[in-house]
Amino acid sequence: MKHIVKVILLIINTLWGLLLIMGAYSAYCPTRIGILLELLFPINLFVCVAFLFVWLAYNPRYIWVPAAALILSWGGIARYCPIHKPQAPDNSQPGFTLMTYNVYHMLDYEGKETTQNRTLSLLLKQNADLVCLQESPELASPNHGLKISEAQIDSIHAIYPYRIPTSLNMNFLSKYPAELLFDTVYSESSAFAAYRVQIEGHEVTIINQHMESIGLTQTDKELYHEITAHPSTNSLDEVKELLLSKLINAARARNKQADLTAERIEDIPGNVIVCGDFNDSPLSYAVRRFRRMGFRNAYNELALGPGITYHANRFWFRIDHILYRGDMEARWLQRLRCKSSDHYPLLTRFVWEPPA
C-alpha cells in the first residue's frame, strides 16, 4: 500500500512540476493553454513547495522531484516573486521620482468618511516628480462628491504646473516641462499616451499605459469572491465555464495591445519608461514583449516578494508595472499600502547613469 501511495504521489508531483515549468515560461507561448498556465502559476508554485515538505516528511530521497521543478522554473519564479533587500528611499543623487497609480476614479474603495479625498492626499504626500494616473478625473476643479477639496486642487496645481489629461481618464502630472506626443485608444477600457519630459537637461519619454481589463463584470468578481470564500464542486465548475474564458479572451486582447504599443514606441530613442496598469502578471506576454525590447523591470530589480498591486475581490496580483530603458537606473521602489483605491501605487526613484 505504501508503495502505491508513493507512486501516486510521484506521478502527481511530476505532472504538477511540469505545469509549473510550463507556466514559468508561458509568455513564450501566448496560446489559450499558455495563458491558463500563467493564471495558475501561483497555485502551481504553492503546490510544488508543499511537495517539498511532503517528501521531506514522507520519503526524503524523492525531494529532488519538486526541487528540480523549482530550479527549472526559477526564471519565472524570480520574475513573479523577486528576492532583493529593499532599499531605503535616498534622493541624494540627481534624478527623479515617478509614481504610477490606478486611482479608481478617485472614489474611496473602502468607503471611509473623510473630509478630503484620501487618494489625492496620498499623492500629494508622496510628492513624486512625475505621476502617471489611470482611471482619474482631470483634477481641474474641486469635486465635493469625490471629496476633492479646493485646497487639494490648489496644491496639485502649485506642485504640478504641467498637467496633461488624455483619453479614457488617463492623467499625467509633472513638475518638469512636458508635452503630449500621442494619445491612443484601443478599446472602451484601454488606452495609452506618450509624453516627452525635460528633466534638468535630460529628455525622458513616459508611456502611461492602461491595458484591457481582466474581462470580468462586477457580478463575475463577486461570484469569484464568494466561491473562494466558500468553495464547492458546483461553484468551481461554474467558475471554469463562466470566468476562465473571459479571462483568457481579455489576455489575448492585452497581447495584441502590447504588440501595438511596442511597435509604436520602438523607434523612440533615449530614455523611455513604460508604466501603468497592465492588468497582467509579471509572467505575461505583455510584460515580456517590452523586455524583448531591452526594457528592465524596476520591481524585479529592487523588490522583495510578489508585490500585489491589485487587492479587490480576492484577485491578489501584481498587475501594475514600471519598465524602463536608457541612461538611467531605478534605485529604490516602494509599494504604498493605501486601500483608498483597488490598486496600490508604485513609487520609484531613477538616477542618471553615464551613456553606455
Measure CA 189 to chain center: 16
Tell me the pTM.
0.93
Return the number of other C-beta atoms located less than 10 Å from residue 145's C-beta: 8
202: left (phi over 0), alpha (psi -120 to 50) or beta: beta
How far apart, in whole angstroms, are the C-alpha atoms of residue 308 and residue 240?
24
Burial class, 264, CB count within 10 angstroms (exposed 0-12 / middle 13-18 / buried 19+): middle
Burial class, 293, CB count within 10 angstroms (exposed 0-12 / middle 13-18 / buried 19+): middle
What number of CA atoms fall less than 13 Å from residue 4's CA on the CB side?
1
pLDDT over threshold 70, residue 55 = yes
3-state DSSP assignment of residue 310: strand
How far apart, in whole angstroms, are the C-alpha atoms of residue 288 and residue 29?
11
User: How much is the CA Rg of the chain, to the nearest whole Å?
Assistant: 22
Residue with the larger pLDDT of the pair 345 and 222:
345
What pLDDT does 1 receive? 72
Confidence band, pLDDT 50/70/90 cuts, at residue 246: confident
pLDDT over threshold 90, residue 231 = no
How far apart, in whole angstroms, are the C-alpha atoms of residue 168 and residue 134?
8
Average pLDDT of span 211-235: 68
Measure CA 315 to chain center: 12
pLDDT over threshold 90, residue 107 = yes
Q: What Cα–Cα distance (Å) separates residue 21 from each residue in 40, 44, 197?
A: 12, 9, 41
Q: What is the 3-state secondary structure (H, E, C) of 226-260?
A: HHHHCCCHHHHHHHHHHCHHHHHHHHHHHHHHHHH
Q: What Cα–Cα distance (Å) separates residue 55 from each residue in 114, 144, 267?
A: 52, 59, 52
Average pLDDT of span 13-23: 95
Burial class, 6, CB count within 10 angstroms (exposed 0-12 / middle 13-18 / buried 19+): middle
How far apart, in whole angstroms, are the C-alpha atoms of residue 46 and residue 43?
5
Average pLDDT of span 95-123: 97
pLDDT over threshold 70, residue 217 = no
Q: First vs last Cα of the chain: how many Å apart?
A: 64
Return the number of other C-beta atoms located less than 10 Å from residue 97's C-beta: 20
Return the number of other C-beta atoms located less than 10 Å from residue 275's C-beta: 24
- CB neighbour list of residue 28: distance below 8 Å, 6 or more residues apart: 34, 288
Q: At 148, give phi and psi (nearest 5°).
A: -85, 110
What pLDDT does 143 receive? 96
**Do 254 and 185 meet the contact criterion of CB atoms below 8 Å apart?**
no
Q: Note the pLDDT tens digit of each residue in 60-106.
A: 999 999 999 999 999 999 999 999 998 899 999 999 999 999 999 99
Q: At 124, give phi and psi (nearest 5°).
A: -65, -40
How far apart, in whole angstroms, are the C-alpha atoms of residue 354 and residue 51?
47
